[in-house]
Amino acid sequence: MSRLAILHIRTPEGIVFSQELAGPMTRFLAWFIDGLCLLAFVFLLMTALSVFGFLSPDIAQAVGTLGMFVFYLGYGIYTEWRWRGQTIGKRVLRLRVVDVHGLRLKFSQVLIRNLLRPVDMQPLFFYLVGGLASLLNSRCQRLGDLAANTIVVRIPKLTEPNLDQLMADKFNSLRAAPHLEARLRQRVSPAEASIALQAIVRRDLLEPRARVELFAELAAHFKGKVQFPVDTVEGITDEQYVRNVLDCLFRPGRKSAARPQPDAEPAPPGNVPPVAA
């Protein structure tokens, strides 16, 4: 089952931002990593106590019993409070617990969601109750999250778009008709431009046939928006046409590189055919 749950939050300033909710599987993996941390702690504690046990077995056993209980109970509470909603597992998988309104967590929220874990973990340690609850809940909340008014969100990494893939210093034949270029910018919606940009950025991930079909469809769509003179589009591939369109959309007012001369050095081989005039 695959789904992408998004939570939209509107700030008092009127800014709307969305947060991608973490699904049960990712959360289970984070919990698994945390489980390994707990095991490592138990191993360290037992090793330390086996040394201390020679002096006083009773106190060593008491420290062991209390230490394991406090660490088991306190690990989630301490790390989530100290690291603003993250445990080691959540850090590794880039997850974070936040208030359901996107606000900072209160200690009571951290405490309640961790204390209610025994219910979510039923039966035994299989997390079936929590897993089912988060599958059925639109905000992917387990019962502890519901009671504490918390959600678990993903933290995306910064991946700056490589706009050089569009038309870095290459000749764009569409710029020969500036009035049509301006009309294109006027008629193409942000959503359409975004789709075309994604197609260009991810083009190498596509199957060759699918790639040709996709760019043919996109080129036909943009050609339907504005008709450029035949001499500006003649001999260029659909993919190149889309790249030219995007260059016009995302780099307004930029002068195009000089038209390549027939005796100029050939462009280095790549996935994309060289720009045609």
Question: Which residues inside 98-127 make contact with other proteins, applying CB under 8 A?
Answer: 98-104, 106-109, 111-112, 115-119
Provide the 8-state DSSP code for 137: S
Nearer to other proteins, 177 or 249 (CB): 249
Nearest-10 Cα torsion for 86, 87, 93, 98: -30
In the list 4, 15, 230, 264, the residue contacting other proteins (rule: CB under 8 A) is 15
Smallest gap from Cβ 265 to other proteins, in A, equals 26
- Residue 41 sits at the vertex; the CA angle it makes with 97 and 123, to the nearest 5 degrees, is 60
Nearer to other proteins, 47 or 162 (CB): 162
Residue 97 DSSP SS3: strand
Q: How far apart are CA 16 and CA 219, in angstroms?
A: 32
Nearer to other proteins, 126 or 231 (CB): 126
Piece in contact with other proteins (CB under 8 A), picked from 156-164, 169-177, 207-215, 233-241? 156-164
Q: How far apart are CA 51 and CA 63, in angstroms?
A: 13
Exposed / middle / buried, residue 63 (Cβ in 10 Å: 0-12, 13-18, 19+): middle
When asked if residue 138 is in the footprint of other proteins (CB under 8 A), the reply is: no
> x-or-dash pattern for other proteins, window 216-235, by CB under 8 A?
--------------------
Piece in contact with other proteins (CB under 8 A), picked from 30-38, 192-200, 221-229, 233-241? 192-200
When asked if residue 251 is in the footprint of other proteins (CB under 8 A), the reply is: yes
Piece in contact with other proteins (CB under 8 A), picked from 77-85, 207-215, 229-237, 259-267? 77-85
Nearer to other proteins, 18 or 227 (CB): 18
DSSP string, 50-61: HHHTTT-HHHHH
Place of tokens 């995306």: 156
